[in-house]
Amino acid sequence: MAEEIKPYNFQWKDLGDIELGRPNLGNTMSVTVYRLMQYTMRDVLNRKLSPEIAGELLREAGLEAGLEFCRNMLDTKLPLNDFVAQLQDLLQSLRIGVMRMEKTDAENLDFTLTVSEDLDCSGLPVTGVAVCEYDEGFIAGVFQGYTGKPFDVREVDCWATGDRTCRFRAVVTTGAAE
């Protein structure tokens, strides 16, 4: 009889105790290794499903990661400008990327931001295809975690399309259940 596969629900604690588990190697690794995991996973999802479904799955995983990151690493009680400053500092200190806000419309929850030197695509060959769906979801999750409202985030410029930074537009989703 085959063992029943139970659903898995990610929680922050599932990341484990890095200091205990990696006493010699620590909490750092090569960007190449991270990209090896991400782009082989993307390739398999593209082949087994489709590029569209793969993009949606990466976006959904990013959303979950962004929500957990916000809940566990950021102070959601801060005023918006202080929250954004904390997010910028944390993304840079974790070597995820250098984030800059280009446009902030706090009243309408409409933001344009860039992430340079990002973990996912800075330095990739130009293919003409934007590849930062995971980042779209991650940013949406962070903003949702902060505001309590769902966001639609789309990449409008990407290194892989020939730009030198990734630019994202984040807008609160209207008419969606909160």
End-to-end CA distance of the chain: 42
pLDDT-based confidence at 1, cuts 50/70/90? low
CB 65, CB 141: distance < 8 Å: yes
Domain contains 126: yes
pLDDT at 176 over 70: no
Please name every residue paired with 112 in a beta bridge, in sequence order, or none if there are none. Answer: 103, 169
Domain contains 110: yes
pLDDT at 139 over 70: yes
CB 137, CB 66: distance < 8 Å: yes
Domain contains 140: yes
What integer best gives the mean pLDDT of the chain?
A: 93
pLDDT for 148 equals 96
CB 141, CB 153: distance < 8 Å: no
pLDDT at 4 over 80: no
Domain contains 3: no
Domain contains 177: no
Domain contains 86: yes
pLDDT in tens, 84-112: 999 999 999 999 999 999 999 999 999 99
| Overall number of domains in the chain | 1
pLDDT for 134 equals 97
pLDDT for 8 equals 77
Task: Tell me what the mean pLDDT of segment 114-128 comes to.
Answer: 94
pLDDT for 100 equals 97
Domain contains 111: yes
pLDDT for 178 equals 44
pLDDT at 159 over 80: yes
Number of H helices, E strands in the chain: 5, 4
pLDDT-based confidence at 3, cuts 50/70/90? confident
Domain extent, residue 147, equals 12-172
pLDDT in tens, 14-68: 999 999 999 999 988 899 999 999 999 999 999 999 999 999 999 999 999 999 9
Domain contains 76: yes
What CATH number did the domain enclosing 77 receive?
3.30.1380.20
